[in-house]
Amino acid sequence: MSDPIYVTRPYLPPLAEFLPMLERIWETRVLTNAGPFHVALEERLRTLFEAENVTLTTNGMLALTAALDAAEIEGEVVTTPYSFVATTHAVKMGRLTPRFVDVRASDLNIDPQAIEAAITPQTRAIVAVHVYGNPCAVEEIDAIAARHGLKVIYDAAHAFGVRYKGRSLLSWGDFATLSFHATKAFNTFEGGAIVSRAASRTSLDRLRNFGIQDEVRIPAVGTNAKMSEFNAALGLLQLDHFEGVRAARAAVDRRYREMLEDVDGIDVLAIPDEVVPNHSYFPILVRPGFGASRDAVYEALKAENIYSRRYFYPLLSSLPMYQDMPGADSANLPVATRAAEEILCLPIFPDLAAEDQERIVGILRSLA
């Protein structure tokens, strides 16, 4: 059997380029607590994101947890059931109540009309997710938030480098949070960041460092969410390679679209107008008209050592800790429920060979 093909494979720059940075860390012995690589990466990301405040964190979930804390809210947040579990776990850990609403069929992002219909006197924020890096309806969501006096927090874990209408997608909302996990289009081994318009850099720095202000003052409750110098150094190097990585992913995306265009029963999510994507994922929807179910396709690929992912399945609203939350009934979430039953993310990474893509699509065609 051929070597396994996983749903993703992290890009790593040439080791020879990373070694001098490691030598510098050995020389300075600065390993954490906002060392020189950490400071340099934050500055470069501020420029890239056109942002006033960028705060690096240990990972994406802690970024979202800290952003929710910085938002200083209590009560309910309107959110999506169609996301990775970290989204709703961060809400729950912030002692907030998630109120689930449905998603749009066009992009599987949270439906603005459903948001407005779900707002109650207890609603304090909207927690939306840029699913697969495709932008939420940011103008509509911002307008809803303004009308009702709500904070907007975007889980932008998939959206590094994405631009919408000529500007960074991360410039919308009060907060946007990122994941730099190994599976993402941009990785620092592990890491994350908060982009904020609603909290000061000083307050976010405290939140990620136990709430500490200085040697003798601890004015707030915080956590340990600091990024290490090793991760920050890799991030600086990854930035130098990111556009090449994006272009390689785009080529993989384009080949899939061309090969799947005439396969009945397989739908591919469109790239929205005015969007510069990062091609983090390649999701397909296996419709009832296809010759096999989504799970049968998943198993057929796995039998050939090809590992796709049912991402996102199951719905967050169906998990035991959330199934009694407001709006969690599947009858309230018909689009999200259907998507969770049909979604399959095919392998995509910069060096995925064309012949491997042909083999993947060949298996799909054999099941049609």
Instruction: Please give the Cα distance from 253 to 267 (Å, whole number).
Output: 14
**Tokens 């749903």, located at residue:** 7
Residue 210 backbone class (left: φ over 0; alpha: ψ -120 to 50; beta: rest):
left
- Under DSSP, the state recorded for 224 is B
Q: Give the residue from 281, 308, 289 showing the smallest Cα distance to 297.
A: 308
**Tokens 């049912």, located at residue:** 310
205: Cβ contacts below 8 Å, ≥ 6 apart: 34, 55
Structure confidence by residue, pLDDT tens digits, 149-207 = 999 999 999 999 999 999 999 999 999 999 999 999 999 999 999 999 877 888 899 99
Structure confidence by residue, pLDDT tens digits, 49-105 = 999 899 999 999 999 999 999 999 999 999 999 999 999 999 999 999 999 999 999
Structure confidence by residue, pLDDT tens digits, 134-147 = 999 999 999 999 99
Handedness of CA 224, 230, 236, 237 (dihedral sign): negative
Residues written for the chain: 368
pTM: 0.96
Tokens of 215: 């040697």
Tokens of 126: 């909207």
- Give SS3 for 122: coil
- pLDDT, residue 322, reads 98
- pLDDT, residue 199, reads 75
> Residue 1 above 80 pLDDT?
no
Structure confidence by residue, pLDDT tens digits, 229-265 = 999 999 999 999 999 999 999 999 999 999 999 999 9
Residue 343, beta-bridge partner list: 285
Q: Give the residue from 103, 153, 158, 92 showing the smallest Cα distance to 124.
A: 153
- Give SS3 for 314: coil
Structure confidence by residue, pLDDT tens digits, 327-351 = 999 999 999 999 999 999 999 999 9
Question: How would you class 171 by CB atoms within 10 Å of its CB: exposed for 0-12, middle for 13-18, buried for 19 or more?
Answer: middle
Set out the domains of the chain in order of their start, with CATH numbers: 15-238 (3.40.640.10), 242-367 (3.90.1150.10)
**Maximum separation of any 2 CA atoms in the chain, in Å:** 67
- Contact between 5 and 182 under an 8 Å Cβ cutoff? The reply is no
